[in-house]
A and B are shown apart, each in its own frame.
Chain A
Amino acid sequence: MTTGRSHLVAQTQLSTEAPPDGRRPTGAKEAKPASGARRGSRSGSTSRDTLAGYLFLSPWCIGMLLLTLGPMLASLYLSFTDYDLFTTPEWVGLENYTTMFSDERWLQSVRVTLGYVLIATPLKLIAALAVAMLLVRPRRGQGFYRSAFYAPSLIGASVSIGIVWRALFSDDGAVDSTLSLVGLGNDGWVGDPQLSLWVLVALSMWQFGAPMVIFLAGLKQIPRDLYEAASVDGAGWWRQFRSITVPMLSPIVFFNLLLETIHAFQVFTSAFVVSNGTGGPAGSTMFYTLYLYERGFEDFRMGYASAMAWMLLLGVGLVTLVLFRTSNAWVHYSGDESR
C-alpha cells in the first residue's frame, strides 16, 4: 500500500517469466492417467472448475474491481476535472495537465525526484553488489552477516528511522560532529538545501539489503569453473569481475535496477518525516509524492492531484519501457549454460 512496501512487492516479481497459466505439468500428466478415471476431464476446465475458480477468486475479484480498476478509472476521470472533495467535479479538460508545466513547485518536485532516482538507485545497487560479493564465498557466520545486512531494508521506511536520520544529520548531529573532527563540519545536512537530498540518498543506500539478497542468489548461480578457467589464463580480480561476473549477473542487475528505480520514484514516508512534511528546505526535498499529497490532501485539489498521479504512472511506465529497450544492449541471458 505504501511506498515502503512497494519495493518488496516489486522485489519479488520478476519471475513473471513463469508462464502466466502454470500449464507446465498438467498437459502430460492429466492426459494419460486421469482421463480414463474421470469423465470429461480432457478439456480440464469443466464448468465445475470454472465455478470453483471464481469462487476461490471472488475476494480478489471484488478487490480488483472496487479498489483497483474502479479507482483507476475514477482517478483518470478526476484528472480532467476541478474537484475539491465537497462540490461536484467540474470538467476542465486537459487544464490540470497543462498547468503542471508552469507550476514551479511541480517542476521542482520532478527535478528533486529525478535527481534522487538518478543518484540513489545506482548508489544503492553498488552498495548491494559490493556487500553481496563480500558474502558470496561460504564462510563461517555467513547466515548471520546476510541477515544483519538485510535488517535495514525492513525498518528503513519507518517513521522511527526517519527520526533517527534527522537526528544523525542535523546540526551537531553525529554525522556533522564526526565530519567536524576532520574539519569538514557544517550547520547540519537537514537544513542545508545543497545537502538535504543527500540525507535521503543515504537513507536509501542504507536499505541495500533487499537487492543484496537477490544479487547474492544470482552470484551463487555463476559456475565456479568459469573463474577457475579465467584465473588459469591469468586474469586478475578486476578482469574476472568485468568479463565474468558482470555479464553473468546482468539479468539480475537489470531486475534490481528496474525495481529499485520504480521504488525510488515513489518514496514518501522518509521524505515526509525528514522534512517534517514540508519538502524543505527551499523545496530541496519536495518529492513528487509529497507534492501530490500536499495538493490532494492539504489543498484539496483532488483533480490536480489525480492528474499528477497519472503523470507519475506515465513517467514510471516510460522509464520502465526505456530500461527494457536499452537492456538488449547489456543484459545477457545465458540460457542453459548457467547450469
Chain B
Amino acid sequence: MTATIEQAAPGGAWNPTRRRRTTGSVIWHVAALAALAVVLYPVFWLVSASFKPSDDIIGNLQLLPTSPTFDNYSSAVEGIAGVPVLTFFRNSLIIAVGSVVGTVMSASLAAYAFARIRFRGRGVLFAMMIGTLLLPFHVLMIPQYIIFQRLELINTFVPLLLGKFLATEAFFVFLLVQFMRGLPRELDEAARIDGCGHVRIFWSIMLPLMRPALITASIFSFIWSWNDFLGPLLYLNDPNTFPLSRGLQLFIDQQSNSDYGAMIAMSMLALLPVMLFFLAFQRYLVDGVATEGLKG
C-alpha cells in the first residue's frame, strides 16, 4: 500500500515539469524546516542555556551563549541536599533497567498466553486487560500506596518495580499480543507436532521472532520510567533514593538558595539518556506507535 504511493509519486500525474517539482520541493523543505525550528526551539534553548552563566539565562534572547561556560555542569554534578547527581543517576538507572527487565519478562509471558494458547476464560481475561488500558492510574494510586506503606516498602524501589514484573501496564502486553498474532501459526503447530511444549515454543520460537516488538517495548519502558515523576513522588521521601526526576523537583523547591544554571544543567543531564535513546532507536519508536495504533 505505502509502496504503491511512493512509487507513484515521482512520475505522478501532477508533476508536469521537473522545474516546478524542484521549486515545490524547496518551498516544502523551507516550510518543514521552519516548523521544525519552532518545535525544537525549547530543546535548543535548554542545550544552550545550560552553557550560559546563571544570570544570563532568563531575559536573554540570544540563542547561543556569548561566553560558554561549564560552571553549571560542575555545580550540577555536586547535586542537591548533600546528594551528588551521580546518586540520582544511579537510582534512575536502577529503576529504568528494572522496569525494562520486568516488563519484557512478564508482558511477553502474558502475551504468549493471550495470543497463542487456547484456554478457558481467555476472552474474559483479555477483555479485562484491554479495560485496564483506559483506567486512570489515580483510581489505584491511594490503595496501592496504603499497601506499600503497610508493607514498609516506602523509600524502596519495590513499589515502582513490582507492577512491572507483574505486567500491570497493559500497553506492553497489548503491543506484544498484536505483534505475536502476526507471526505465522504454522511455526508453533509444527513444533507441537514435533512434541514441543509451550515453554519450548515460547522460548525457542516466539521470543527470537519477537525481537523487534521487544525492543520497542524496552525502549518505551525505559524512557517512561526514566521520566516518571508521580511514582517516585509518592513512594520516595529520602533524597538518597531519588531518581533524577525527583532530584530536579528538589532543586525547584530550594530554588531560592541554589542557582538557576545548575538546575538547567541538571535538566539537560536528565534528558540526555532519553535523547540518546531516541536518536539510536527512533525508527522503532515511531513505527511502534504508528503500526500498533492502526493494526486491526
Contacts and interface: CB of A to CB of B under 8 A. Distances in A.
B288 to A, nearest CB: 8
Given A59-B167, A146-B286, A217-B294, A297 B234 contact: yes
A8 B229 contact: no
Nearest to A161: B42
B36 A21 contact: no
A9 B169 contact: yes
26 contacts: A4-B229, A11-B293, A12-B175, A12-B292, A15-B296, A45-B119, A56-B112, A56-B117, A63-B106, A63-B167, A71-B142, A71-B144, A75-B139, A134-B31, A138-B9, A143-B283, A147-B282, A159-B227, A159-B244, A160-B248, A217-B293, A220-B2, A272-B229, A273-B229, A297-B145, A313-B139
Contact of A159 (B110, B248, B282, B286): B248
Contact of A145 (B32, B145, B296): B32
B271 A177 contact: no
Contact of A217 (B57, B127, B167, B291): B291
Given A75-B140, A139-B28, A220-B2, A68 B40 contact: no
B231 interface: yes
Contacts of B275: 151, 155
Nearest to B274: A155
A233 B254 CA distance: 66
Dominant SS among interface residues on chain B: helix
A37 interface: yes
Contact of B141 (A54, A148, A309): A309
A16 B130 contact: yes
B47 to A, nearest CB: 10
Contact of B163 (A16, A63, A151): A63
Nearest to B166: A63
Interface residues of A, number: 126
Nearest to A13: B133
B20 interface: no
Given A22-B115, A147-B282, 17 more contacts: A1-B230, A6-B137, A50-B120, A74-B146, A143-B283, A148-B40, A158-B274, A164-B267, A168-B42, A172-B58, A220-B2, A255-B293, A268-B229, A289-B138, A302-B142, A309-B139, A312-B136
A18 B231 contact: no
B43 interface: yes
Interface in A266-290: 266, 268-269, 272-273, 276, 289
Interface stretch (A26-34, A100-108, A191-199): A26-34
Interface stretch (A91-99, A115-123, A206-214, A323-331): A206-214
B189 A135 contact: no
B117 A53 contact: yes
A241 interface: no
Contacts of B252: 163, 273, 276
Interface string A138-178: 11110101111111101101111101110110101110011
A170 B264 CA distance: 14
Interface residues of B, number: 125
A52 B227 contact: no
B286 A60 contact: no
A2 B137 contact: yes
Contacts of A293: 230, 233
A309 B138 contact: yes
A4 B224 contact: yes
Interface stretch (B69-77, B79-87, B192-200): B192-200
B133 A206 contact: no
A57 B113 contact: yes
Contact of A68 (B168, B202, B270, B282): B168
B85 to A, nearest CB: 13
A231 interface: yes
A233 to B, nearest CB: 14
